[in-house]
Amino acid sequence: MNSVMKRIILLSLSFVFAATMFAQQDAQYTQFMFNKLAYNPGYAGSYETTCITCLYRTQWVGIEGAPTSVTLGAHAPLMNKRVGIGMNLAYDDIGFTRRINASLAYSYRIKMGQGALAIGVQGTLETLRVDWDEADPTQLFDNSIPVGSPNKFAPNFGAGLYYDSDRFYVGLSVPHILDTDIDFASSAATAGIISREERHYYLMGGVVVDLGQKVRMKPAVLLKYVQDAPFDADVNLSFLFYDRVWLGATYRLGGSTQKGFGESIDAVLQLYLTQQLKLGVAYDFTLSELSDYSDGTFEVSLDYCFKYKKAKLINPRFF
């Protein structure tokens, strides 16, 4: 099994860093509905106070070198909520590759109907590193595997629109507009073969429907598109009980082209520990062939919103 996975990882890295790649490159999060700033800069400042969100994701537990992601985001409103600012830090570890992404977001909110439309922009600096010395080749002295730990810096910028009200939200965003060069190859043999950070398009939306005094329903969806890559989507249906507990499930497209059942079915739970602090957990049941080797994917998040003396939080905030 280890030999098979090493070959898969090395082959994947060869495509990532030595060829033009058309695929989804951004990290995915099962709790996308609680981590919108990672997708859309227009979300910055949408709450009444400063909020901080952190999330940890370990994907395909049991497979050596499987992806691990950590994010830390914060945003706040300014100027009577007309302006929002935010920051997001993300760390991704896949095999012996590391990626750190730092973004600063700005949004301007325009009152529209029962809600507000935010126009957001962000600037991003990304650093990539490949620790080739950690590679464990199936054949010794493989000259196709470089040595050392090269670094690559890739600046970028993005934009997004985000509309929200007390009952629904919808957002459209492109976090990385530039097709940035992320290739490490420098030899003449690989000249002209470039790996780039592809442009990702996200469309998200959700609505809250009252089913009674103690139960609310919130369907949500995240659509993901990258040119020349398969269309992807997360479709979630959650229920809020007693304004304290969100419980739901998500179906993610993609996965195997042989089984055709999609990538995963995910269980999502969020608890309002206090009015200000929320704890979220998620577990992905893998549907593709990777289910034969993996124990699924686990995710945990914490969300904290400060309460100022002159600021009154809406209880609860659905979005």
How does pLDDT run across 196-249, given as a tens digit for each residue? 678 899 999 999 999 988 999 999 999 999 887 778 899 999 999 998 999 999
Q: Tell me: the pLDDT tens digits for 167-183?
A: 899 999 999 998 876 66
What are the structure tokens assigned to 154, written together?
A: 């890739």
Grouping H, G, I as helix, E, B as strand and the rest as coil, residue 315 is coil
pLDDT > 90? residue 195: no
Q: Tell me: the pLDDT tens digits for 125-158?
A: 999 888 877 777 666 666 666 667 778 888 999 9
**Which residues are bridge partners to 69 per DSSP?**
57, 92
Whether the bond into 316 is cis, omega within 30 of 0:
yes
Q: For position 146, what pLDDT does the model report? A: 66
Q: If pLDDT is split at 50, 70 and 90, which confidence band does 9 have?
A: very low
203 burial (CB, 10 Å; 0-12 / 13-18 / 19+) is: middle
Q: For position 257, what pLDDT does the model report? A: 62
Q: If pLDDT is split at 50, 70 and 90, which confidence band does 119 have?
A: very high
Instruction: Please tell me the pTM assigned to this model.
Output: 0.84
Nearest to 54 by CA among 31, 82, 22: 31
Average pLDDT, the chain: 83
Q: For position 52, what pLDDT does the model report? A: 96
What are the structure tokens assigned to 278, written together?
A: 């929320």
Q: To the nearest 5 percent, what fractions of the chain are helix, strand and coil?
A: 10, 50, 40
Are 270 and 34 in contact, with CB atoms under 8 Å apart? yes
Whole-Å CA distances, 66 to 38, 57, 61, 149, 263: 21, 11, 7, 19, 15
Residue whose tokens read 């459209």: 172
Rounded mean pLDDT of 289-305?
90
What residue spans define the domains of the chain? 2-215
Rounded mean pLDDT of 262-268?
93
Whole-Å CA distances, 193 to 12, 98, 131, 186: 15, 22, 21, 10
Concatenate the DSSP letters of all residues of 142-180 into one string: -TTS--S--EEEEEEEEEEEEEE-SSEEEEEEES--S-E
What whole-number distance in Å separates Cα of residue 316 and Cα of residue 184? 47
Q: Tell me: the pLDDT tens digits for 40-80?
A: 999 999 988 999 999 999 998 888 888 999 999 999 999 88
Q: Please calculate the CA angle 226-21-223 and round it to the nearest 5 degrees.
A: 15
Going by the DSSP 8-state scheme, the letter that residue 141 receives in this structure is T
- Return all residues near 213 (Cβ < 8 A) that are at least 6 apart: none
Strand pairing category for 68-78 and 196-197: unpaired
